[in-house]
Amino acid sequence: MVGMRRQFLLACLCALLSAANISAQQTSPAQQHVLPDAFGSWHVSGVDVDVQKPALSQEAGEREFRQCQFTSGKQTVTIWAGKYRDPSSAYEVYTSLLRPAMQPSTVGRFTAVDDWGLIALVGDIVFEVRQPRNISTKDLQELASIVAARSDKTPLPPIRGYLPKEDLVNATQRYALGMAALRAAAESLGKPEIAALADAAGFAQGAEAMLAQYRRGPDTGVLLLIDYPTPQLAELHMRHLETAISEEAKKAGSTIERRGSLLSVVIAPSSPAYAESLRDAVTYETQVTWNEPSATATDPPWAVVLYRIFVGTGVFMVMAVAFGVAFGGFRIFIKKLLPGKVFDRPEQMEVLQLGLTGHKIDTRDLY
C-alpha cells in the first residue's frame, strides 16, 4: 500500500510539472519577445546578440531589445525592436532616429522611411526595418499590428502638437525628456547653442522639450519649446535659460517668451522678425476651467414667498394637532385598558401639599 501511494504521488507531481511547462511554453513568447518570430511570409532565421542600440536607450528606460534576421524565400532583412519606459520615452528615441531624407510611409501614422530603412513608433515600442524594399507594405502593416498588440496605448506628449506646421523642415522634429536627448538633438541639427541650454532646462523638475528646424526662403531658425508642470517652474527656469544664452544670440533674436508653463525660444534665427513670427505661430493656449457645478441665483416673487410661508406653517400646525390627538388618544386608551399600571401610578406621583387641612390628597381625585 505504501509503495502504491508513493507511485500515485509521483505521478501527480509529474503531471503538474508537465502542465506548468506547457503553460510556460505557450505564454513565454508573447511575454519575452517584443519582436515576433514570424509575420506574413517572414520568419526568424537568426538572432543578433552583439547589436548597436539607439544612443538614447538608457535615458529612455529600455526594457527590452531584440534584433533578428528574417527570411522569406531568397529575401533577407534585418529588424530590431525596442520597448521603453512609456510612449513618451519611445517617442524620444523615435525622433532621435529620424534622418533628413526620410518621408512618411503608409505603414502607420508614426513611420518614416528612406532608402536605408523604415522607422516606426507603436506605443512604447520603436522598431526599424532595414532594406524595407524587400518587404511588401502588407507584411509591414501586419508586423506593425502584431507589435501594437504588445505595446502600451498611452497617448503621446501634447507638446508635439504645439510646433507650427508651416515652414517646418521634414524629419527635423526632436523630442527630449533629458539632457542627453537635447544634446543629441543639437548635434543632429548642427546647433551647439542648444546643447548649452541642457543644464539649465530643468529636466529633473519634469520639463520636456520639443524642437524643429524651419525655413522660409532665405529665413531659417530652430524653434525650441520647453514645457513645465507649472507656470512657476517655467518662470524660474526662464531666468536660468536667459543667463545661458549668449549676448550674440540675443542680438540675433534668440529671446525667450513664456506663455503659461511653456517657454519658446528661436535658436540662430536669420532675423529677429522671423524669430518673432515663429514664436507667434506656436499653437499653445492656456485654459482655466471651474470643475464645481454652478447655478444662476434667482429670487422668486414676494407673493410666492408668502404663499410658501403660510403653506409651510399650516402643514406644521396640522401635524402638531394630529400628533397631539394621537398621543392623547393613546394615553386615554392605555389608562382605560390598564388603569394605574402604565400611566399615573399612585405610588410614583408626588403632589405638593400646603397642609391647610388634615385631609390627605388622593392622586386619583385629580383625574
Question: 21 lies in a domain?
Answer: no
Whether residue 99 is predicted with pLDDT greater than 50 in this model: the reply is yes
Same domain, 130 and 171: no
Q: Which amino acid is at 215?
A: R
Question: 234 lies in a domain?
Answer: yes
**pLDDT grade for 25, boundaries at 50, 70 and 90:** very low
Whether residue 26 is predicted with pLDDT greater than 50 in this model: the reply is no
Nearest to 140 by CA among 132, 151, 130, 148: 132
Nearest to 255 by CA among 175, 331, 268, 166: 268
CATH number at residue 67: 3.40.1000
Which pLDDT score, from 0 to 100, does residue 327 have?
87
Of 140-144, 331-335, 347-351, which range is least confident? 347-351
Question: 53 lies in a domain?
Answer: yes
Work out the percent of the chain whose per-residue pLDDT is above 70.
81
Question: 121 lies in a domain?
Answer: yes
Look at the block and give the residue holding cell 536607450: 57
CB-CB contact of 186 with 194 (8 Å): yes
**pLDDT grade for 85, boundaries at 50, 70 and 90:** very high
CB-CB contact of 170 with 214 (8 Å): no
Same domain, 47 and 127: yes
Which pLDDT score, from 0 to 100, does residue 351 have?
60
pLDDT tens, 272-310? 999 999 999 998 876 555 565 655 667 788 888 899 999
Helix 87-96 crosses helix 179-189 at what angle (to 10 degrees)?
A: 20
Same domain, 102 and 183: no
Same domain, 79 and 166: no
Q: Which of 251, 284, 317 marks a domain boundary?
A: 284
Which pLDDT score, from 0 to 100, does residue 284 have?
85
Determine the Cα–Cα distance for residues 184 and 55; give it in Å rounded to an integer. Answer: 9
Same domain, 149 and 198: no
As separate numbers, helices (DSSP H) first and strands (DSSP E) second, the chain gives 9, 13
Q: Which of 253, 284, 315 marks a domain boundary?
A: 284
Same domain, 223 and 253: yes
Whether residue 173 is predicted with pLDDT greater than 60 in this model: the reply is yes
Average pLDDT over residues 55-59: 95
Determine the Cα–Cα distance for residues 256 and 264; give it in Å rounded to an integer. Answer: 6
Determine the Cα–Cα distance for residues 84 and 102; give it in Å rounded to an integer. Answer: 23
Whether residue 164 is predicted with pLDDT greater than 70 in this model: the reply is yes
- Other Cβ atoms within 10 Å of 311 Cβ, number: 10
Question: 342 lies in a domain?
Answer: no
* Helix intervals (H) in the chain: 2-32, 87-96, 137-149, 179-189, 192-195, 231-244, 247-251, 272-280, 302-337
Look at the block and give the residue holding cell 507667434: 280
Determine the Cα–Cα distance for residues 191 and 186; give it in Å rounded to an integer. Answer: 5
Look at the block and give the residue holding cell 532621435: 96
Same domain, 137 and 176: no
Determine the Cα–Cα distance for residues 167 and 281; give it in Å rounded to an integer. Answer: 11
Q: Which of 284, 302, 317 marks a domain boundary?
A: 284
Same domain, 280 and 262: yes
Of 68-77, 199-208, 287-296, which range is least confident? 287-296
Question: 13 lies in a domain?
Answer: no
SS3 of 209-276: the string is EEEEEEEECCEEEEEEEEECCCHHHHHHHHHHHHHHCCHHHHHCCCCEEEECCEEEEEECCCCHHHHH
Same domain, 244 and 273: yes
C-alpha distances out from residue 143 to 32, 45, 156, 333, Å: 17, 16, 21, 89
**What backbone phi and psi angles, to 5 degrees, belong to 156?**
-75, 165
Same domain, 127 and 182: no
Question: 293 lies in a domain?
Answer: no
Grid coordinates standing for 223? 524653434
> For the chain, what is the mean pLDDT?
85
CB-CB contact of 116 with 98 (8 Å): no
pTM of the model: 0.70
Domain housing 206: 157-284
Whether residue 354 is predicted with pLDDT greater than 70 in this model: the reply is no
**pLDDT grade for 252, boundaries at 50, 70 and 90:** confident
CB-CB contact of 260 with 231 (8 Å): yes
Grid coordinates standing for 97? 532616429
Same domain, 43 and 146: yes
**pLDDT grade for 356, boundaries at 50, 70 and 90:** low
Same domain, 164 and 56: no
Question: 144 lies in a domain?
Answer: yes
Determine the Cα–Cα distance for residues 283 and 124; give it in Å rounded to an integer. Answer: 26
Average pLDDT over residues 211-231: 95
**How many domains is the chain built from?**
2
Q: Running DSSP on this structure, what letter comes out for residue 70? A: E
